[in-house]
Amino acid sequence: MANFPNALMWYVVFLLSTTCHEAAHAFAAMKMGDLTAYENGQVTLNPLPHVKREPVGTIVVPIISFLIGGWMVGWASAPYNPEWAYKYPKKSAAMAAAGPMANFILIVVSALLIHLGIMLNIFYAPETIKGVDIVSAVNSGIYGGAAKILGIFFILNSILFLFNLIPVPPLDGSGILPMYLNEANGRKYMSKINSYAFEIVGIIIAWYLFDFIYSGLHTVLINLLYPGSNYH
């Protein structure tokens, strides 16, 4: 039970971040003519419709990953019309990009709140960085909790943003590629990657690549958060 407050903070941040990601996909699709996600109730920042659609990815896997590793991973999804995506590959690419962009916005917002807290003498940059403990509170209690939550927001959304940009199916990075192709080549590309076998191989490749490169990226992110700090 000692880790329950920490687990609760992680889960709240995970659920909000994942909901924003999928709602952004759904909203972008709706605006560009595919009402599938809208009609399924996914154009919302209410987590419940997203949890109901993917209970394993939004409840079971995050809890298990936290118990095993002390941090949370999982997934959600927004439905779309494959015929619409094939007909409009560039619109489909923009829909794919909307999810990671939502995570990027959350990264920026959390960074701004961290620096606002430093300006107000509520937070300060710690001497060393470990995991999600990227900002410290001058006083404990509610400010300590706020520092922890902002750290989780910054790191988790950085992971979601970067991981989803890996250009292998079924990740968003693969769906963004038709943005740089003409319509005909975009359709050819989409018809080839929409395969369950491709998705399985893609996930394996993505996990291997991300695990290999993220430790270095974590340091880069912290030095971007605190310019001139030279953390290592």
- Owner of token pair 């003498």: 121
Entry field: residues in the chain: 232
Using CA atoms, how far apart are residues 211 and 45, in angstroms rounded to an integer?
30
Which DSSP letter does residue 168 get? S
Query: Does the structure show a pLDDT above 80 at 40?
Result: yes
* Residue 83 pLDDT: 93
Inter-residue contact 100 to 161 (CB < 8 Å): yes
pLDDT score recorded for residue 201: 76
Arithmetic mean of pLDDT, 176-180: 93
pLDDT value, residue 38: 96
Predicted pLDDT of residue 194: 75
Confidence at 196, pLDDT banded by 50, 70, 90: low
| 85-94, 140-149, 203-212: range with lowest mean pLDDT | 203-212
49 pLDDT above the threshold of 90: yes
* pTM of model > 0.75: yes
Three-class SS state of 122: coil
pLDDT in tens, 9-38: 999 999 999 999 999 999 999 999 999 999
107-119 pLDDT, tens digit each: 999 999 999 999 9
Q: How far apart are CA 168 and CA 12, in angstroms?
A: 28
* pLDDT confidence of residue 26: 97
58 within 8 A of 12, measured Cβ to Cβ: no
Q: What's the average model confidence in pLDDT over 146-167?
A: 94
- pLDDT(132) > 50: yes
- Binned at pLDDT 50, 70 and 90, residue 1 comes out as very low
- Residue 158's pLDDT band, with cuts at 50, 70 and 90, is very high
